[in-house]
Amino acid sequence: MNQSAVFWMVFAAIVIGWILGRFSGPKAPSRGRSSSYYEGLNYLLDGKPDGATDAFIASLDVNSETFETHLLLGNLLRKRGEVQRAIRVHVNILEHSAIQDIQKHEAHLELARDYISAGLLDRAEQLLLDLIAESSLKGVEARRYLIEIYQAERDWDKAIAMAGSLLSKRGLFQGKRHEVKGPGEQSVHVLLPHFYCELAEKRKKNGDISGAQQALASAFREDPSNVRVTLMRAQLAEGEGDFRKAIELLLNVAGQDKEFLPEVVPLFKQCAEALGQLDQYERFLRDSMQKYPSTGLVIALTDLINEREGAEAAALFLTDAMRNAASLRGLYRLMLLQLEESRSQLSSKLEVAMELMRQLTETAPGYRCQHCGFRGKHLHWFCPGCKFWGSIKPIGLIKKLN
């Protein structure tokens, strides 16, 4: 059903609601319909919904019988992108005293959603905080919208506090902690470690290493199996010169989520080089390839062999690795190795082909969201598509050839 048909249905419901509100309950002294009502009806019949909206807002009474109709109209306007009109509808509801408190709280929440859509986050925040104080029934939903606001504002201290208060509101028999829902479909148990990680990133950027470590300790308490927490703790350890601790942490990633093993490679190599233990780094790469034969791991081991044994040995290894499985990045690296010593003999046409292959490998997405399918070149812990935390993972598992 298209938006036009839905809009007509809404206004038909408004007319019916007006009639019900007009003729139900004790009889009041009769009075004629307002000119705004007839003006709105004419706009509607003439196919001018914008004018009809303004006229009906001005003419229709708000009461318990017509409340749902007004609320439906406001929500439809917001979905159509007409946020200012949606705000007018919801403000109009709140200005009437003929509705119950629970209905006022519902309109209160919808007005806050209007402000969020309009980008007026400070107004929405205040409305939602007021709603938490006034209504225990709508308080949980208000907290979820506040978490969205604090995410958008990158105010991680407030986001953490609000998520914690949402956890504290769960009932004794409402299930385990990870079942408490936050914004969207994700549980608060999934959100909190990422909020602490964001706070740690902020503190680290400001030079507060101790504060960053404290934030990561809190994140670890929330979810010891979170890969992002492990990677960030290893980064801090490496920055402090504790290379053994960093390697010890990185070795945990295989048991947490083997799909992130390629993300471990750069930091592991830095630490191994600092300790003079490249043999340990090589063992890590070979063991990881057995668990997760990805392009990133194959190329990392190829580069190590090239550094230690030369291009010929690296080409032989990569050729063997590509016999039963292949990737565009692997093929490009193999061609570079094979042509490294004969570039002067490379024809100009083949140089063009190599350049095109290089561009393809550099522009191909390296990460994909497991929830919505969003693809990108860089790892984002917060998906810009579906707004999920921790749903993006590296692409790179080598596919077997037929």
DSSP string, 302-349: HHHHHHHH-HHHHHHHHHHHTSSEE-HHHHHHHHHHHHTT-GGG--HH
pLDDT of residue 45: 45
Locate the domains of the chain by residue range: 365-402
CB 328 within 8 Å of CB 361: yes
The first and second tokens of residue 66, run together, are 């017509």
Per-residue confidence (pLDDT) for residue 212, from 0 to 100? 96
Structure tokens at 270: 């830095």
Looking at every residue in the chain, the average pLDDT score rounds to: 79
The reported pLDDT for the residue numbered 354 is 60
pLDDT of res. 371: 85
**393: which strand partners?**
368
Q: What's the chain's length in residues?
A: 402
Report the C-alpha gap between 302 and 188 in whole angstroms. 41
DSSP symbol at 401 = P
Name which of 232, 298, 307, 302 is nearest 273 in CA terms: 307
pLDDT < 70: residue spans in the chain:
1-61, 168-179, 324-328, 330-332, 335, 338-365, 396-402
Q: What is the pLDDT of residues 282-325, one digit of tens each?
A: 999 999 988 888 888 988 998 999 899 988 888 888 878 777 66
The residues, any chain, with a CB within 8 Å of residue 253's CB and separated by 6 or more, are 227, 230, 231, 260, 261, 263, 264
User: 347-360: b or e for each residue (b if 16 or more CB lie within 10 Å)?
Assistant: eeeeeeebeebeee
CATH assignment of 365-402?
A: 2.20.28
What is the rounded CA–CA span in Å between residue 380 and residue 23? 58
Question: Nearest to residue 33, comparing CAs of 43, 19, 46?
Answer: 19
Kindly state the DSSP code that residue 368 receives in the 8-state scheme: E
* Under 8 Å between Cβ of 7 and 49: yes
pLDDT tens by residue, 19-54: 555 545 444 443 444 444 445 445 444 444 555 556
